Structure 1
Amino acid sequence: MNPVEQAIWFIESHSAQPLDLDEIAQSGGVSRFHMSRAFVVATGRPVIGYLRARRLTEAARRLAQGAPDILSVALEAGYGSHEAFTRAFGDQFGITPEQVRAARDLETLQLVEPIVLDTSLRTDLPPPRLEQGRALLIAGLTGRYGCEGPGGIPAQWQRFGEHIGHIPGELGNVAYGVVLNGDDLGNFDYVSGVEVADFSDLPEGFVSVRIPAQLYAVFHHAGHVSTIRRTMHTIYTQWLPESDYEPADAPFFERYGPEFDPRTGEGGLEAWIPVKAK
């Protein structure tokens, strides 16, 4: 099993026990950072969000079976009070625990069942090149996204595209999509940018990102930009587990060269994954 499959098994077999991200990562034999990023890429869900959803799903089943004490169900699901459980339950299902117990019915609830990884998402992946990347100064537009809803990124690129070629200190003819500041819930910042000589005189609304020199595994994605998830899925569920490397806690970026056509999404791109030796 790869680390994500091991984590899923661990969550399912220990869901009644107190768990945190460190313990889940340890079960997969990887770092906290590696597990957090790999789980999102492989499943589309943050690992802690999946753990919470699975616990609430099993709690809903117990309530629908007529559990007499809601507080006991809450405690078993990892919540310290009836109030905290009710809030989380409502956020997950849009209904109260009392309503589920009274109805004895789960038909209207979107339950979260154990994940089975979709191996059809894997693709034939040419071996990457290892490259010691130099430090970069990136300037551009940014947005905050969740792993389940990054749909605003294409629109962000459209807004940024109007600035390309007119940014003070702009270097070269390459654009960068930088992913950074990820958290345990799968949220991350995404910067559409270009390399600049310095951060002076940037347009209003621009952000600046310093990317330190770092070792990267560089993968070429030849397909349409919309299929990048297949490449990332293969990197994190197959290449990294089988390699001598693990992700480093540093920004990951997509590199769009002059051959990329932003109007069609064709032309290919490179995925630069920061890595370190295991």
Structure 2
Amino acid sequence: MISALNRLVDLVEEHLSEELDVDALARSLGTTEYHLRRMFSSLAGMPLSEYVRRRRMTVAAADVVRGEDDLLTVAVRHGYGSGEAFGRAFRAVHGAGPGDVRRDGGPLRTQPQLRFRLTVEGSTPMDTRLVDRPAFRLVGHSARVPLIHEGVNPHIVRHISALPQEEHLRLKALGDTQPEGLLQVSDDLDLDAAEGSELTYLHGVALDGDTPVPEGLDAIEVQAGRWAVFRTSGPHPQALQKAWAATATEWFPSNPWRLRRGPSIVAVLERADDFTTATCELWLPVEPA
């Protein structure tokens, strides 16, 4: 996976002014676009699309400052059909328009070329098991919320808090298969998992594939497949978020598995009354790499 990510970075450099065919590259490297983009985002701390934009504008800035060509020529050279589109992208990265930078020499914000390296330290023990599951369904109450990588997501908190206590009890009684208990489900995640992008969040339980969906509840149909299950314990949600990040930095690069499409699921096994600490299981859909 590390070599695949570095090949992706090289390809970005070779085709900075062109549309990148990530799917074709992923297939040539024996993986999937979904897994490649998710691992890139997790390890680089930014979506692939954002990295491409930053690198493109870093290189374009040199042409702007040199002043040898008019700004429209520079825009076209770097893959933009108009000076306006180029100006918007340039300002979003550098904080100033190309005309201002040409006149003043700055400000400029440089995005260095990334290089991924695997350092295996074993500093984060990962309590993991692999589970094969037939098709099942997730049912409960869903909402569209923005993705927040660190800390408590207030949109999810509001969604859960709006449910009456008796509804939590009803949901818990409905669950009849693994993962057990009340579940926190994330689905329809943006391919790059960009901060602020929307996802479907469902507060609910898992039902056997033959169990009908109770009236008034939303449902997510889950295909049969294999799951990697990571057990976490400690401050909540920090311990869970740390383990989630470690799946990308340590577990996937060291194991012959990759993410497949499907929801990610958090099962809360035990928790303090104020939810400051918890023991959880993180279920991620996987397939052989």
TM-score range relative to shorter protein: 0.7 to 0.9
SS at match of 2:205: strand
Tell me which amino acid in the other structure corresponds to 1:132. D
> 1:87-236 maps to which residues of 2 (within 5 A)?
87-106=88-107, 109-115=108-114, 123-134=123-134, 135-146=136-147, 153-163=153-163, 165-167=165-167, 170=171, 171-172=174-175, 174-186=181-193, 187-195=197-205, 198-202=213-217, 207-224=218-235, 225-236=237-248
Q: Distance in 1 between matches of 2:239 and 2:8?
A: 25
Question: Deviation digits for residues 60-104 of structure 1, max 9, x if unmatched?
Answer: 233123342223322332223323212322333443221211111
- How far the C-alpha of 1:226 sits from its partner, in A, is 1.7
Structure 1 unaligned blocks of 5 or more: none
Q: Distance in 1 between matches of 2:251 and 2:206?
A: 32
* Cα offset, 1:55, TM superposition: 0.6
1:277 equivalent to 2:278? Answer no
Q: Residue 101 and residue 19 in structure 1: after superposition, are their counterparts in 2 closer, same or farther (change >3 A)? A: same
- AA paired with 2:160? F
2:9 corresponds to which residue?
Answer: 8
1:74 match? 75
Q: Give the Cα separation in 1 of the matches to 2:239 and 2:66.
A: 43
- Code of the aligned partner of 1:63: V
Q: Which amino acid aligns with 1:181?
A: D
Tell me by how many angstroms 1:51 deviates: 0.8
Using the TM superposition, give the Cα deviation of residue 218 of structure 1 relative to its aligned residue in structure 2, in angstroms: 0.6
Find the aligned partners of 1:112 and 1:174 in 2 and give their Cα distance. 44
C-alpha distance 182-63 of structure 1, shift in aligned 2 (>3 A): same
How much identity, in percent, do the aligned residues show?
24
Letter in 2 for 1:194: G
Matched residue of 1:267: which SS?
strand
Equivalent-residue separation in structure 1 for 2:87 and 2:283 (angstroms): 42
CA distance in 1, matches of 2:78, 2:186: 33
Assess if the C-alpha contact under 8 Å between 2:263 and 2:285 holds in 1.
yes
Looking at structure 1, the residues matched to 204 and 152 of structure 2 have their Cα atoms a distance apart, in angstroms, of 19
**Cα 1:7–1:80, aligned 2, differ >3 Å: closer, same or farther?**
same
Distance of 2:253 and 2:120 partners within structure 1: 18
Q: 5+ residue gaps in structure 2?
A: 208-212
Q: Distance in 1 between matches of 2:154 and 2:25?
A: 33
Q: Which of 243, 255, 273 is 2:267 aligned to? A: 255
Which SS does the other structure have where 2:271 is aligned? coil
C-alpha offsets along residues 222-258 of structure 1, whole Å, 9 cap, x if unaligned? Answer: 232224343223222332233222111111122212x
With over 3 angstroms needed to count, the CA separation of the structure-2 counterparts of 1:162 and 1:57, relative to structure 1, is same
Q: Could you say if the C-alpha distance between residues 255 and 82 of structure 1 is closer, same or farther in structure 2, counting changes exceeding 3 Å?
A: same
Distance between the aligned counterparts of 2:104 and 2:122, measured in 1?
Answer: 42
CA contact (8 A) 1:55 1:77 kept: yes
Deviates more, 1:116-125 or 1:77-86: 116-125
Greater CA drift, 225-234 or 160-169: 160-169
Separation (CA, whole Å) in 2 of partners of 1:264 and 1:21? 40
Contact 1:89 1:96 in 2 (8 A): yes
Q: Which residue of 2 aligns with 1:266?
A: 277
Question: How far 1:145 moved relative to its partner?
Answer: 2.2
* Residue 43 (1) aligns with residue 24 (2): no
Q: Compute the displacement of 1:129 (Å).
A: 0.9
Over aligned residue pairs, what C-alpha RMSD do you find? 3.2
**For residues 273 and 58 of structure 2, what CA distance do their matches in structure 1 show?**
42
**Larger deviation: 66-75 or 37-46?**
66-75
TM-score (norm 1): 0.80
- Rounded to whole Å, the distance in 1 between the matches of 2:152 and 2:275 is 17
Contact 2:63 2:74 in 1 (8 A): yes
For the residues of structure 1 that align with 2:160 and 2:38, how far apart are their CA atoms? 26
